[in-house]
Every structure is written in structure tokens, then in C-alpha cells.
Amino acid sequence: MFNFEKLGVWRRAIEFADLIYTDTRSFPTEERFGLTTQLPRAAVSISSNIAEGTSRSSKVDFARFIEIAGGSVFEVVSECFVARRQNFLSDENFRKIYAAADEESRMLSGLRRSLLAKK
């Protein structure tokens, strides 16, 4: 087992990516080169950066990858606003994604704070 697999924040990021993949399947065909592909890429980037960060030799380096993962969460949320305004996402699905993104963001922030805490 890799170290990142033990992290709850990584497991939640995988679940978040699943949610995004599920909800983008219903996007219009003409969006296949737009939000339909961009949203899952951003969502997958979250867990990927967490995993890559665990391979770093210092907590500061790991914290930087956690910060990047947090940026990807924000990217997903911003893109979901566009998707909702274009009626690609229902209000219900938007709220579900937004709540999951908020939880993921809080978990990432907590991990980053703990990595940077002076001991």
C-alpha cells in the first residue's frame, strides 16, 4: 500500500472525482471538448497532487502539492458555476458537488496547516 492510500483526504478526492465523472456524463455532446473533459481533469488532479505530494522529502514540498490540489478544487467549483448557468448541471447536482468540494477543501486546508505547523 502506498502512503497516500492511507489518507482520508485522498480517498475523499477519489470519491469526488467519481461524482464529477458521473455528473458530466449527461453533458451535451457538443461539450465533449469543453467542460465535459475539463471538469474530470481538474477533479482527478486533486487526488493526483495529493499522491505526488506524499513522495516529497519535506513537509514544505508536500504542503505545496496540497496547495495545488486545493486550487484544483476551486477550479472544479468555478467550472460547475458555468455548467449550472448553461443548464448542464441541475441545482441539486450543483449543490451536491459544491458541498463535496467544500468538505475536500477543508480537509486539504487542515492537512496543509498540519504539515506547516512548527513543532
Q: DSSP string covering 57-71, please?
A: SSHHHHHHHHHHHHH
Average pLDDT over residues 99-111: 98
Q: Which domains does the chain carry? A: 8-114 (1.20.1440.60)
Residues 16 and 38: their CA atoms lie apart, in Å, by: 14
DSSP per residue, 94-114: HHHHHHHHHHHHHHHHHHHHH
Model confidence at 118: pLDDT above 80? no
> How far apart, in Å, are the Cα atoms of 50 and each of 21, 34, 63, 79, 113?
19, 25, 9, 21, 14
Average pLDDT taken over every residue of the chain: 96
Is the pTM above the cut of 0.85?
A: yes
pLDDT digits (tens, 9 = 90+) for 9-26: 999 999 999 999 999 999
pLDDT digits (tens, 9 = 90+) for 54-96: 999 999 999 999 999 999 999 999 999 999 999 999 999 999 9
* DSSP per-residue string spanning 8-38: HHHHHHHHHHHHHHHHHTTS-GGGTTTHHHH
Burial class (CB in 10 A: 0-12, 13-18, 19+), 2: exposed
pLDDT, position 101 = 98
Q: Name the percent of the chain lying above pLDDT 90.
A: 95
pLDDT category of residue 119 using cuts at 50, 70 and 90: low
Residues 6+ apart with CB under 8 A from 48: none
What's the CA gap between 102 and 95, in Å, rounded?
A: 10
